[in-house]
């Protein structure tokens, strides 16, 4: 794994790993914590339980302005790793096309029964070189990832 192609941020959130895991395994939880403001959960989604589970997101890159030619489209995410109250990883591809090769993940480290260290990470090392040259990697910045953790905490505390 190329360290320069991995971006990671973390934050201590005052909630149990079980509570956080319950939220991040719901696709609507990903919308609630989206720091880019470009995600909308597709209505056919369900709780994520196993490797291979699929979940859809509607994307609006126009609102971000970073890759204007992509505009609005739907992504199909596939769970690649899941461990109850510990980790959720998924890969992304546009519906009807192969996955791009990057991995998103959230790792939970319980610090005690009501405090959890949450790591939000993205690994771009699996993206083919020809795709890397089309855009500036990583597309999702550490600021967006930090905002995602802030929004996750706010969603959990308001639940």
Cα–Cα dist 117/120, whole Å: 10
CB 83 within 8 A of CB 108: no
CB 60 within 8 A of CB 75: no
- Predicted confidence at residue 49, as pLDDT, reads 95
Place of tokens 């690994």: 123
What average pLDDT does this structure show over 98-125? 90
Query: Does 142 have pLDDT greater than 80?
Result: yes
- Predicted confidence at residue 106, as pLDDT, reads 96
Element at 144 (helix H, strand E): helix 142-158
Q: In terms of Cα–Cα distance, which of 21, 15, 19 is closest to 111?
A: 15
Looking at the structure, give the CATH architecture of the domain made up of residues 3-158: 2-Layer Sandwich (3.30)
- Predicted confidence at residue 2, as pLDDT, reads 41
What average pLDDT does this structure show over 9-25? 96
Query: Does 71 have pLDDT greater than 60?
Result: no
Cα–Cα dist 87/19, whole Å: 13
Query: Does 9 have pLDDT greater than 50?
Result: yes
- Predicted confidence at residue 53, as pLDDT, reads 93
Token reading at 138: 């990583």
């Amino acid at each position: 794994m190329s360290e320069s192609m991995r971006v990671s941020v973390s934050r201590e959130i005052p909630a149990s790993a079980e509570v956080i895991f319950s939220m991040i395994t719901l696709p609507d939880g990903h919308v609630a914590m989206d720091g880019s403001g470009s995600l909308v959960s597709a209505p056919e989604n369900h709780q994520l339980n196993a490797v291979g589970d699929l979940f859809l997101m509607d994307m609006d890159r126009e609102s971000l302005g970073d890759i204007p030619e992509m505009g609005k489209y739907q992504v199909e995410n596939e769970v690649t790793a899941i461990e109850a109250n510990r980790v959720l990883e998924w890969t992304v591809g546009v519906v009807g096309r192969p996955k791009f090769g990057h991995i998103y993940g959230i790792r939970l480290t319980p610090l005690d029964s009501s405090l959890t260290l949450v790591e939000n990470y993205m690994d771009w090392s699996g993206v083919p070189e020809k795709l890397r040259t089309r855009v500036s990697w990583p597309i999702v910045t550490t600021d967006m990832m930090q905002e995602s953790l802030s929004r996750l905490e706010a969603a959990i505390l308001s639940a």
